[in-house]
Structure 1
Amino acid sequence: MRAACVLAGLLLGLIANGAAASERIVVLAPHLAELVCAVGACDELVGVVAYTDAPPAAARLPQVGSAFAVNVEAVLALRPSLVLAWGSGTPAATVERLRGVGLRLEIVSIGDLDAIGAELAVLGRRLGHADAGRAAAGDYARRLAALRERYRGRSRLRVFYQLESGPVYTINGSSPISAALSLCGGDNVFAALPTISAVVSDEVVLAADPDAVVVADDEDARGIDAYWRRLAPARAADPARRVLVDADALTRQSPRVLDGIAQLCAGLDRLRRDAR
């Protein structure tokens, strides 16, 4: 009788913590793997997509295509109990097809920096790791608040976030990157573009006259240099006004984004110091 009571107590404790039977999870975007691992469910991952590079345990898992071109047969071969799709990235046709073959699929949508913390808590409960999810959410919220406090009141810089060099693309104010720029005291000079990313001409870039240019460290450095040589003597053509960032860190909707933001803020601070 006593043993039965102890067992019942343990089961109630598990239920209260949101625990469930171990899942077999396939994720359809790199940042989703990072979120799953952040809430303590990395051992339940069985499949990822291309460019999943963190954490190392997730990077070694079988790939089921890319975020925008999922191989449904490869997903089925892994016998997942749960598929996590990217709300703003996984094609609707892919979601429909996976659900059509009977797979349990849930969509993870993250709209802004604060939503990453909220999603950690939700995902922790959903996967039976409520305590780990709450802890991860709390840690993320504290780190984000510390960054906001540290860079609050910085003098504003007009920033051009450059993608590629021929043609040149940039992002508008709806991009999470634009939110990161704002936190660091940067104003996206192309925030008003009608689409989240767009090609910008040399003339438009020159007219914007940015104080700083932010470029991902995986871009073609020679191409970027050649582009700005063509635009000399624009202020932004000065290599000293260029800030390099880790694209994976800055663009992932996971706790790692805070590392990217810290790097971005430090780079913009360097420009402020040099301008004195």
Structure 2
Amino acid sequence: MNRMRNAWLVLVGALMVLIGGTAQAALQITDDNGVVVNFERSPQRIVSLLPSLAETVCELGQCPRLVGVDRYSTFPASLTKLPQVGGGLDPNIEMIVALRPDVVLMATSSRAGDRLRALGIKVLALEPKTHADVQRVMLKIGQLLEVPDAQRIWRAIDAAVMAAAQSLPAGARGMRVYFEVNPGPYAAGEGSFIGETLTRLGARNIVPASLGPFPKLNPEYIVRADPDLIMIGQRSVDGMAQRPGWMGMRAMREQRLCVFSTDESDTLVRPGPRMAEGARLMARCLADKAAKKAGARS
């Protein structure tokens, strides 16, 4: 009887070890909508519907796992060779299904999540809007992809932003800045990742955090604020001079205007691994225009 009991205990113990090992190998990720998603193993086939998420996957050294991206994912250049599955708001569901993804990465604002889940496809909704969000999303994707050094990669990005700030001359600090994200006009407020970068660079944002991270502004608000410096993308600059009252602003009169190319704008407005490069672009703009401002005074 004791021999049978001991054999039973050994069998139960072996089963517990097996079950425990399986549970430990499984992945459980909670997305930004609070949805818990379980994976039997790290996904090998990924579709991304948000450029910053695709860039993060690649920054973590896992670009080969991407089998499809949205139409706006252009960096790194290798992503342009992948099947494009529409945009975050208008994805091609049939095409996504045909790619047989283990998971689809998308913004929380995407309306495709429920449809994909109904078809049996796992979805993770992740949408970084602040520096802390960028770090959190990078670590979460690192966990999903079982990349152990995601924290080290984030620290390198954060250190590069700090270096950009330290490179600025004292005269570049304190400038009042308006950063236009896209026509509307939609601005980058203090609470956005762009606004946080400007703050770290010593600039003063004319759009307070109370208005939200990326508010749509009345153009008159910008005229009344009368910024020292305007940062704007090439997509938005056409017709800017015709906006009522804009030519009366000091930044326009004194040509303190930084117009970023399409590629530069993509770098600046995507909350992901290229945030450090965005900080360098803004720092260069601040330094150049501060020098111009100082020259105008002398």
TM-score (norm 2): 0.75
Q: Where does structure 2 lack aligned partners over 5 or more consecutive residues?
A: 1-20, 28-40
Q: CA deviation at 1:135?
A: 4.1
Match among 248, 252, 266 for residue 233 of structure 1: 248
Per the alignment, do residues 55 and 231 of structure 1 end up closer, same or farther by CA in structure 2, a change over 3 Å counting? closer
Q: CA deviation at 1:99?
A: 1.3
- Structure 2 distance, partners of 1:69, 1:48, is 13
Secondary structure of the structure 2 residue equivalent to 1:83: strand
Q: CA deviation at 1:86?
A: 1.8
Match among 31, 38, 42 for residue 63 of structure 2: 42
Matches within 5 A, 1:83-232: 83-87=104-108, 89-91=109-111, 94-131=112-149, 133-151=150-168, 155-162=173-180, 168-191=185-208, 194-195=211-212, 196-202=214-220, 204-219=221-236, 221-227=237-243, 231-232=246-247
* Equivalent position amino acid for 1:41 in 2: Q
Secondary structure of the structure 1 residue equivalent to 2:216: strand
Secondary structure of the structure 2 residue equivalent to 1:32: helix
- Structure 2 distance, partners of 1:110, 1:264, is 20
- Structure 1 distance, partners of 2:240, 2:182, is 7
**In the alignment, structure 1 residue 29 sits paired with structure 2 residue 50:** yes
**In the alignment, structure 1 residue 267 sits paired with structure 2 residue 285:** yes
| Cα deviation code 1:126-147 (max 9, x no counterpart) | 113324x344223223223323
Q: Number of matched residues?
A: 254
Per the alignment, do residues 164 and 43 of structure 1 end up closer, same or farther by CA in structure 2, a change over 3 Å counting? closer
TM-score (norm 1): 0.80
| RMSD across aligned positions (CA) | 2.8
- In the other structure, the counterpart of 1:3 is none
Per the alignment, do residues 222 and 201 of structure 1 end up closer, same or farther by CA in structure 2, a change over 3 Å counting? closer
Does the 8 Å contact 2:206/2:227 carry over to 1?
yes
Please say which structure displays the higher CA radius of gyration.
2
Does the 8 Å contact 2:173/2:202 carry over to 1?
yes
Percent of aligned pairs with the same amino acid: 25
- Structure 1 distance, partners of 2:218, 2:253, is 19
Q: CA deviation at 1:102?
A: 1.0
